[in-house]
Amino acid sequence: MQIGEISVRSGVSVRMLRFYEAEGLLRPHRTESGYRDYSQDDLEEARRIRQLADAGLTVEAMHDLLPCIISPEPTFHPCDRLRARLEAEVAKLDRKLSEMERSRAQIAAYLDGLPRDEWRDTAILRSETA
């Protein structure tokens, strides 16, 4: 598969596929003319990378986790540092969620302090019915 096809099939942009290759996360075969030639295994790896990126993991974390992943499902075989890495990532996500909850509460308090007017109430009703 060429890079455009794997991009469409994996949902990873061409730019990000090149980035992941530069970071050593993907290693597609190169043809004699230098074109990338992706295999089915590369496609599955790109999909796993996308899942990890969507979860907010860094490239460094992916380097630790990808060798341990044995399927597209959250199934792992034992790897050194795996539990510690996953616990650190969960803790990081918990901190982000906590920060977002505080930010939301603060913005909601500002919103509650604004005077109600006909335009705002109409806009809210429109967005709720959309």
Q: How confident is the model at residue 125 (pLDDT cuts 50, 70, 90)?
A: low
Q: How confident is the model at residue 55 (pLDDT cuts 50, 70, 90)?
A: confident
Place of tokens 């510690």: 84
pLDDT value of position 127? 67
CA 65 vs. chain centroid, Å, equals 14
Please state the pTM of the whole predicted model.
0.61
Q: Which CATH architecture has domain 1-79?
A: Orthogonal Bundle (1.10)
Alpha carbon distance 40, 91 (integer Å) = 34
